[in-house]
Structure 1
Amino acid sequence: MQETIVRRETTTLPKAPNIRHTYMKPRIAVFIPAHNEEKSIEDCLQGLYDQSLPKGVDLDVYVIADNCTDRTEELAKAFGKEYKTNVNVIKTVNNKQRKVGALNTIWKQIYGDMLDIHYTEMTEYQQVYQRSVKAILGMDADSRLAPNALKYMWEGLMSARNIGGVMAKYTMRMPKKKSKLSKDDPYYEEKIASGQYGGPIARWWTHQQKQDMASWLLDLQYRGGSTYVLGGQATLFRPEALQDIVNNNKLDAPWQYESDVEDMLLTWQLQKSGWKTLISPKARCFVDAMKSYHAFRQQRNKWSSGTVDLLTNKDIDIKTRHTGRIWRSQGKMVMDLVIRVMFIALLTVSLATDQFVWSWIWLIPIGLASVLNIILAVKTPMSRPIDVILAGLLISPELYLLVNLMTFCQVWFEKLSTDKKDGWANQYMAESGQTKSKLTQGLLLLILLITSVVLACMYFRDYLTSSVVQEATHPYLMSGWIVLTYLTIFASLIMLRQIWSLRARHTA
Structure 2
Amino acid sequence: MRLAREGSTQRPGPQRTTRIRTLHQGPGRDPNPWSPALPETPSPSTAAPAASRYADDFLAVVQTLPESRATIGCVVPAYNEEESIGQVLEALLAQTRLPDVIHVVVNNTTDRTVERAARFAGLHTVTDEHGGERFTEVFVHDIGENPDKKVGALNYGYTLVEGLDYLLGVDGDTVADPRAVEFLEAEIASDSRIGGISAIYSIDDRPFTGVVAPFLIAGQRAQFAAFNMQNMLRGRNMAVLGGQYSIFATRALRDAMAANRQTTPWVKDSEVEDSLLSLQIKSAGYLTKISARARADVGGMTTLNGLDAQQVKWNYGAIELMWPGQRGDTKGQPFHPNLRLRWFENLSMAVNALTRVLFLVLLAGSLSIDAFVFSPIWLVPPVVAVLLNLRTALSMQNRNWRDILFAVLILPAEVYMWIRLGHFVRAWTKFASRKQVDNWAAQAKAERGGGHAYLAPVLVALAAVVAMVAIWFQLTPVVQSSILWIGWPVLGVITVLQTLGMFGKLVRRHHGYRV
Of 74, 95, 102, the match for 1:51: 95
Deviates more, 1:278-287 or 1:315-324: 315-324
Of 306, 313, 317, the match for 1:302: 313
Of 264, 269, 272, the match for 2:275: 264
Conserved 8 A contact 2:107-2:145: no
2:485 is equivalent to residue 506 of structure 1? no
3-state SS of 1:226 partner:
coil
2:148 is equivalent to residue 97 of structure 1? yes
Distance 1:470 1:198 in 2: 51
Deviation at 1:442?
7.5
Conserved 8 A contact 2:395-2:513: no
Deviation at 1:390?
3.9
2:494 is equivalent to residue 487 of structure 1? yes
3-state SS of 1:410 partner:
helix
Matches within 5 A, 1:259-298: 259-298=270-309
Conserved 8 A contact 1:171-1:381: no
Distance 1:264 1:456 in 2: 43
2:440 is equivalent to residue 424 of structure 1? yes
Deviation at 1:436?
4.1
Q: Which amino acid aligns with 2:317?
A: G
Distance 2:149 2:510 in 1: 42
2:209 is equivalent to residue 206 of structure 1? no
Q: TM-score, normalised by structure 2?
A: 0.78
Of 39, 51, 60, the match for 2:101: 60
3-state SS of 1:402 partner:
helix
Q: Which amino acid aligns with 2:92?
A: L
Structure 1: runs of 5 or more not aligned: 1-22, 112-129, 177-196
Could you say what the CA RMSD is over the residues aligned between the two structures, in angstroms?
A: 2.7
Conserved 8 A contact 2:71-2:166: yes
Conserved 8 A contact 2:74-2:99: no
Which residue matches 1:253? 264
Which residue matches 1:78? 119
3-state SS of 1:242 partner:
helix
2:75 is equivalent to residue 31 of structure 1? yes
CA gap of 1:154–1:451, structure 2 versus 1, over 3 A, is same
Which residue matches 1:153? 184
Distance 1:307 1:446 in 2: 24
Q: Which amino acid aligns with 1:230?
A: L
CA gap of 1:493–1:174, structure 2 versus 1, over 3 A, is same
3-state SS of 1:30 partner:
strand
Matches within 5 A, 1:7-406: 26-53=70-97, 59-81=100-122, 83=124, 85-111=136-162, 130=163, 133-176=164-207, 197-315=208-326, 316=331, 318=333, 319-406=335-422
CA gap of 1:350–1:203, structure 2 versus 1, over 3 A, is same
CA gap of 1:448–1:491, structure 2 versus 1, over 3 A, is closer
Partner deviation per Cα, 1:389-426 (whole Å, 9 max, x = no partner): 34223212211111111111111122111312111111
Deviation at 1:65?
1.6
Structure 2: runs of 5 or more not aligned: 1-66, 126-135
Distance 1:409 1:425 in 2: 20
3-state SS of 1:255 partner:
coil
Q: Which has the higher contact order (CA 8 A, sep 6+)?
A: 1
Q: Which amino acid aligns with 2:115?
A: E
Of 496, 499, 508, the match for 2:503: 496
Which residue matches 1:473? 480
Deviation at 1:276?
0.3
Conserved 8 A contact 1:355-1:470: no
Partner deviation per Cα, 1:356-414 (whole Å, 9 max, x = no partner): 11112111112111111121222234333344234223212211111111111111122
Partner deviation per Cα, 1:201-232 (whole Å, 9 max, x = no partner): 21121011001100110111111100110000
Partner deviation per Cα, 1:316-356 (whole Å, 9 max, x = no partner): 25443232332122111111111111111111111101111
CA gap of 1:241–1:78, structure 2 versus 1, over 3 A, is same
Distance 1:333 1:397 in 2: 14
Deviates more, 1:387-396 or 1:335-344: 387-396
Q: Which amino acid aligns with 1:157?
A: I
CA gap of 1:377–1:448, structure 2 versus 1, over 3 A, is same
2:427 is equivalent to residue 411 of structure 1? yes
CA gap of 1:151–1:450, structure 2 versus 1, over 3 A, is same
3-state SS of 2:100 partner:
strand
Distance 2:486 2:464 in 1: 26
CA gap of 1:338–1:317, structure 2 versus 1, over 3 A, is closer
Distance 2:72 2:427 in 1: 38
Q: Which amino acid aligns with 2:204?
A: R
Distance 2:466 2:339 in 1: 43
CA gap of 1:416–1:92, structure 2 versus 1, over 3 A, is same
Conserved 8 A contact 1:293-1:437: no
Counting aligned pairs with the same residue, the percent is: 30
Q: Which amino acid aligns with 1:236?
A: I
Partner deviation per Cα, 1:125-166 (whole Å, 9 max, x = no partner): xxxxx2xx1111001011111110100000110011110001
CA gap of 1:385–1:450, structure 2 versus 1, over 3 A, is farther
Distance 1:110 1:456 in 2: 63
3-state SS of 1:278 partner:
strand
3-state SS of 2:371 partner:
coil
Deviation at 1:198?
2.9
CA gap of 1:298–1:203, structure 2 versus 1, over 3 A, is same
Q: Which amino acid aligns with 2:314?
A: W
Conserved 8 A contact 1:346-1:481: yes
Conserved 8 A contact 2:197-2:288: yes
Deviation at 1:455?
12
CA gap of 1:59–1:275, structure 2 versus 1, over 3 A, is same
CA gap of 1:168–1:387, structure 2 versus 1, over 3 A, is closer
3-state SS of 2:119 partner:
helix
Conserved 8 A contact 1:204-1:387: no
CA gap of 1:456–1:238, structure 2 versus 1, over 3 A, is closer
